[in-house]
Structure 1
Amino acid sequence: MESDPLPSAEPSGAAAPPALLELRDLHVFYGAIEALKGVSLTVGEGEVVALLGANGAGKSTTLKTASGMLAPRAGEVLLHGERVDGITSHELVQLGIGHVPEGRRVFPRMTVLENLRMGAYRLRRPDPADLDRVFTLFPVLAERRKQIGGTLSGGEQQMLAIGRALMGKPELLLLDEPSMGLAPLIVQQIFEILKEINAQGTTLLLVEQNASRALALADRGYVLETGSVVMSDDADALLADPRIRAAYLGESVE
């Protein structure tokens, strides 16, 4: 998709919320290959921000850099205005960033309850209220709390991965392709739960192949191409843009 860069837009009719996460001119490399070429974006407190792009555009790399799994060669990562690039991923968990990776990555030989408790490792002991919250959001996990994680269905493992991240009390939750490989009814359920998580006060930065679902949930969105941001706007504006609809929703542009 070829497009001219568009300026970032504030949500219609409202002032932009204070910035929770800022990525400024990030350049990230895998060896000699530059994966991010000056990526800049902002996630405001309480927002849902969608990050769209084709495979290989740099979406997962962006999340991994934001969560400290990758270090930028140049550029800055700021949390509440303070630089956190160079801080390790486990330290960023302490600062309130949770990451649900692509492919779920549950601990396959641990039970559901043990997986969830691992999400609260930064706390001296898990807060029973956090466990209750997860079981309320995902009743199936309560039913299967003694089941081995690796024996769950794909949708149940995705719920477990999200629940595990919530156990760390994140202020910002990074989600990488939460609908990948899941049946449509499960995808609908996952997105309804993400909406509820955001309504409860958790900010979301979402990488998602299902552009329609992502933009329906999001306040704003960014589009990445080959490691660069090429578009940014309100979610409704992006969803109505014929270039987005052609590239990600399979519609023809006359």
Structure 2
Amino acid sequence: MSGTAEVTKEQAAGQPEGTPVLELRDLRVFYGAIEALKGIDLAVYEGEVVALLGANGAGKSTTLRTASGMLAPRSGRVLLHGERVDGIKSHDLVRFGIGHVPEGRRVFPRMTVRENLEMGAYRFKSPDRDTLDRVYSLFPRLHERRTQLGGTLSGGEQQMLAIGRALMGKPELLLLDEPSMGLAPLIVAQIFDILKEINEQGTTVLLVEQNASQALQLADRGYVLETGAVAMSGEASRLLADPRVREAYLGEGAA
């Protein structure tokens, strides 16, 4: 069910107008001879939360890694506010307003919480105090643990630290890869509440998440990937009610 025509049809009803913050056009990415992304078309508009769903190996993380400059596409385009940026390295894309929270958190285990956060502000001459205060306000636990080594934090605290570190770069667009992975349900609920607050404060979000129900309840729109191609897309509420999505990702039989 892949292809640009399917995306265009699905997006026609719910996609905002204007120039997207992020747009992927006919994106093809390979790992050696294996085609991981097969002509992805995707758009994220200012102020949205967009969920990217799919089974393991569908290409979700590859999509984020390509959007943030960690992978180079074989063909296709990555555009930020209409400006082509594919080919720009990830550490340079930060200045374009992209923050990427990778799968697995990847905090610096031998640095303190405060030092981890300061690393997220590397593109500035010095960390912005107001931004640091904002992160501490969103994640009070990080303020409590600010002198503690990153490697000694719990899984949930490390996820908070990874998100906080990305926010220190003052991103306009935040890419999140599986923020709920391996976390207890109570912590997952806390993380998603904070993501909602981050979005309400003005940060646009593209979210990869295995917890389809949680993701679609937060999101405005969503895309479903299957084997490197967009199979479905549309308003999050419509996807959440779709029997195919409910059967495949919510563990419910199709009505």
Contact 1:120–1:167 (CA under 8 A) maintained in structure 2: yes
Q: Distance in 2 between matches of 1:17 and 1:24?
A: 16
Residue type of the alignment partner of 2:250: L
1:35-70 Cα offsets, whole Å, 9 max, x none, are 000001000011000000000000000000000000
Residue type of the alignment partner of 1:169: K
Q: Which residue of 1 aligns with 2:181?
A: 180
Q: Distance in 1 between matches of 2:92 and 2:141?
A: 31
Q: Distance in 1 between matches of 2:13 and 2:61?
A: 25
Q: Which residue of 1 aligns with 2:76?
A: 75
Residue type of the alignment partner of 1:201: G
How large is the Cα RMSD of the aligned pairs?
1.6
Q: Distance in 2 between matches of 1:78 and 1:166?
A: 21
Q: Distance in 2 between matches of 1:235 and 1:195?
A: 15
Contact 2:19–2:82 (CA under 8 A) maintained in structure 1: no
Q: Distance in 1 between matches of 2:12 and 2:153?
A: 40
Q: Secondary structure at the match of 1:19?
A: coil
1:160-209 Cα offsets, whole Å, 9 max, x none, are 00000000000000000000000000000000000000000000000000
Are 2:10 and 1:8 equivalent residues in the alignment?
Answer: yes
Q: Secondary structure at the match of 1:39?
A: strand
Deviation for aligned residue 1:9: 2.8
1:201-223 Cα offsets, whole Å, 9 max, x none, are 00000000000000000000000
Q: How many residues align?
A: 252
Q: Which has the higher helix share?
A: 2
Q: Secondary structure at the match of 2:11?
A: coil
Deviation for aligned residue 1:252: 0.8
Which 5+ residue runs of structure 1 have no aligned equivalent? none
Give TM-score, length-normalised by structure 2: 0.96
1:120-162 Cα offsets, whole Å, 9 max, x none, are 0000000000000000000000000000000000000000000
Deviation for aligned residue 1:11: 7.1
Percent identity of paired positions between Structure 1 and Structure 2: 76
Contact 2:27–2:76 (CA under 8 A) maintained in structure 1: yes
Q: Which residue of 2 aligns with 1:243?
A: 244
Residue type of the alignment partner of 1:234: E
Q: Distance in 1 between matches of 2:158 and 2:201?
A: 22
1:8-30 Cα offsets, whole Å, 9 max, x none, are 33676x95364100000000001
**1:90-239 aligned within 5 A:** 90-239=91-240
Contact 1:174–1:206 (CA under 8 A) maintained in structure 2: yes
Q: Distance in 1 between matches of 2:92 and 2:218?
A: 29
Contact 2:16–2:45 (CA under 8 A) maintained in structure 1: no
Cα distance change of structure 1 residues 130 and 109 upon mapping to structure 2, 3 Å threshold: same
Deviation for aligned residue 1:253: 1.6
Which 5+ residue runs of structure 2 have no aligned equivalent? none
Contact 1:48–1:218 (CA under 8 A) maintained in structure 2: yes
Q: Which portions of structure 1, spanning 4 or more consecutive aligned residues, are displaced by more than 4 angstroms?
A: none
